[in-house]
Amino acid sequence: MIEGILPPYVVSADLSDDPPGATLFPEEEKVIEQVVDKRRREFTTARLCARRAMSELGLPPAPVLPGPRGEPRWPSGVVGSMTHCAGYRGAVLGRSAEVTTIGIDAEPNDSLAEGVLDVISLPEEREHLRELWRRDRRVSWERLLFSAKESVYKAWFPLTGLWLDFEEARLEIDPERGTFHARLLVPGPHVDDSEVTGFSGRWMVTDGLILTAIVVPAPATTARTTPSAAPDSKLIDS
């Protein structure tokens, strides 16, 4: 599913349910020994997806433990991101020689709870959403904004180890190309002697879900690839 908005130099695995029989490494089991069943199933299936993606990279299965802020700690040489919501669990991985950072998120294509939009958005972003809503009402644009900002944070954190508030990035969504761009409103990390001033990503809506993804290639990968203008898949699958 999410592969439709990913470049060819990363791998992905996703599932729409929690298959029985999925197992964890002992150290992963220890992390969630006190959690409720719902959280256990999300945690386990997301790691099942991660290990399937590791296999696609030709790597053996390995534990994925959460860091201090819940971020996944990947095996050496691997860059990745995981997400889960009702009806979706997924992981996207790449080799650190080819990918600088990855951020993905999945959300239901449904409105945010009352009051949440004011917390996660800037005034100019809310005006942008009103314009998008007038153009197309099949997409919960406010939820898409939230999802894209979640992907921004997941791409940002591995580069900085710092929190990024919702109001510290200004996001614009392109409804025609299925892309988005976030301009950082705080100093960004330096990668290959250049400051990161923002993140660009792709989005799609399918099967009642909103999926967003940011994949920042390593400089060597950028030099040998030509970015496409838009995803090959449909932006909105109704």
Q: What pLDDT does 222 receive?
A: 66
pLDDT above 50 (res 80): yes
Looking at residue 235, its pLDDT comes to: 59
Cβ atoms of 81 and 67 within 8 Å: the answer is: no
Contact 175, 190 (CB under 8 A): no
Crossing angle (nearest 10°) for helices 141-160 and 123-135: 130
Structural domains of the chain, ranges and CATH numbers in brackets: 2-237 (3.90.470.20)
The Cα–Cα gap between 62 and 164 comes to: 29
Contact (Cβ atoms closer than 8 angstroms) between residue 151 and residue 212: yes
**CA 234 to CA 104: how far, in whole Å?**
18
pLDDT given at position 193? 83
Q: Residue 224 has what pLDDT?
A: 60
Any idea of the CA torsion for 184, 172, 70, 74, to the nearest 10 degrees? -90
Mean of pLDDT values over 136-163: 97
Mean pLDDT of the chain: 92
The whole-angstrom distance between residue 56's C-alpha and the CA centroid of its chain comes to: 19
CA distance linking residue 113 with residue 175, whole number of Å: 23
* Contacts (Cβ under 8 Å, ≥6 apart) of 211: 1, 2, 5, 88, 90, 104, 105, 106, 147, 203, 204, 205
> What pLDDT digit, counting tens, does each position of 206-235 carry?
999 999 999 999 987 765 654 443 444 345
Instruction: State the virtual CA torsion across 50, 89, 42, 169 in degrees, nearest 10.
Output: 90
Q: How confident is the model at residue 192 (pLDDT cuts 50, 70, 90)?
A: confident
